Structure formats: structure tokens, C-alpha cells
């Protein structure tokens, strides 16, 4: 169980931001997530990944859901000693997965409202930036999961991801890019105990 005195760590959100940039570099929405495990006074990274909605062709391959599934497959059904960091507020679907996995805490940068506002002003046919305006906190509370939730953590840095553009032009055929993107975007299991 994550104690109510828990303090989010900047380095874990910075890792999520780096994963988001990698996701955008391969043609996806720049959204990243990290799951850490709290072991006494130590906190270690268990998984980190970037969004896969566009590169997988599935509208439900949200990075939060995928990392939760990945960590649950190795650590069990319930994750009360784990923290989900996400650059963007988990949508209702991902917040529901947090309820079912009994995640210990959630830390996120930009809100569903931020996503909607950006999408209305700057959304394109390729990157719409749609959002489900049901707060993560609401879903967690209605699901009976009363855990620490930290919103707007490194919000300004996470907001910059909306405008982040890939730094290279990919000239490989689309099928080769898609295959490589699927392999590169799977959650990464961290085996070191440094938490970096």
C-alpha cells in the first residue's frame, strides 16, 4: 500500500516524458507512462513505455492500460505497492484498469480538460487529441479505490508534449515502420534497482 505521505519523484515523470517523445518519434501520440514499485524507502522502475494507439492500429492500446497489463503479468493481479506515472491523465478506461488492478497511486501531468482544449484548438485529422471528460479521480472513487492521486505533476513539461514533433523523417516503407514500432513500443521491464 502506498502511504498518504508519498511524494512523487521528478525523475520518474521525466522518464515518462522521454517515453512520450519516443512514441511521437515513431508516429504516435506523445504520451508516456512509467510504473514504479515502492519497496520500503526505495522506489524502482518496473516498466516504461510510450503510447501505441496509432502504431498498433488499435484505439484501446493506451499506454497506461498496456503498462498495467504488462506489470500485472509479472507481479500479480493486484498492484497496491505500485505507482502509475503518466504524462496525461488516465482516461476512464485506463482509470478503470487502475481500479481493477488496485494500483497504489496515480501521478499525472496534463488533465483531460487540457487534452480537450488542445484538441479543439490544434487538433488535426491525423492527431485529433480527443478526450473523455470523466476525471481519473472520479472513476477511482466510484470504483472504491481511495488512493493518492497527484494531478498537474510537472504539468508545464507535459504540456510541451502536445507540440512535440518527431526530429527525423522516416523513409522506410509503412509496413516496416509499423512492425518496428510495435516491437519498440512494448513496455520495457527494468531489472536494475537504481530507479533510473
Give the distance between the most distant pair of CA atoms in the chain.
Answer: 50
Instruction: Report the alpha-carbon distance of residue 88 to residue 31 in Å, rounded.
Output: 6
Q: Which residue is catalytic, options 64, 66, 89, 113?
A: 64
Cell reading at 136: 481519473
Instruction: Report the alpha-carbon distance of residue 139 to residue 111 in Å, rounded.
Output: 14
Please indicate whether residue 89 is annotated as part of the active site.
no
- Active-site amino acid positions: 64
Amino acid at each position: 500500500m502506498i502511504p498518504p505521505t508519498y511524494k512523487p519523484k521528478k525523475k520518474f515523470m521525466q522518464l515518462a516524458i522521454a517515453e512520450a517523445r519516443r512514441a511521437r518519434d515513431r508516429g504516435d501520440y506523445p504520451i508516456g507512462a512509467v510504473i514504479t514499485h515502492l519497496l520500503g524507502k526505495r522506489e524502482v522502475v518496473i516498466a516504461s513505455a510510450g503510447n501505441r494507439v496509432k502504431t498498433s492500429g488499435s484505439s484501446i492500446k493506451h499506454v497506461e492500460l498496456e503498462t498495467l497489463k504488462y506489470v500485472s503479468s509479472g507481479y500479480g493481479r493486484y498492484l497496491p505497492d505500485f505507482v502509475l506515472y503518466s504524462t496525461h491523465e488516465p482516461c476512464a478506461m485506463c482509470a478503470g484498469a487502475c481500479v481493477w488492478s488496485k494500483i497504489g497511486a496515480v501521478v499525472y501531468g496534463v488533465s483531460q480538460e487540457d487534452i480537450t482544449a488542445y484538441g479543439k484548438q490544434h487538433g488535426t485529422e491525423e492527431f485529433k487529441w480527443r478526450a473523455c471528460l470523466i476525471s481519473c479521480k472520479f472513476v477511482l472513487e466510484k470504483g472504491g479505490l481511495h488512493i493518492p492521486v497527484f494531478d498537474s505533476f510537472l504539468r508545464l513539461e507535459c504540456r510541451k508534449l502536445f507540440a512535440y514533433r518527431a526530429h527525423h523523417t522516416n523513409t522506410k516503407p509503412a509496413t516496416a515502420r509499423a512492425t518496428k514500432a510495435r516491437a519498440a513500443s512494448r513496455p520495457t521491464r527494468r531489472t536494475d534497482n537504481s530507479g533510473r
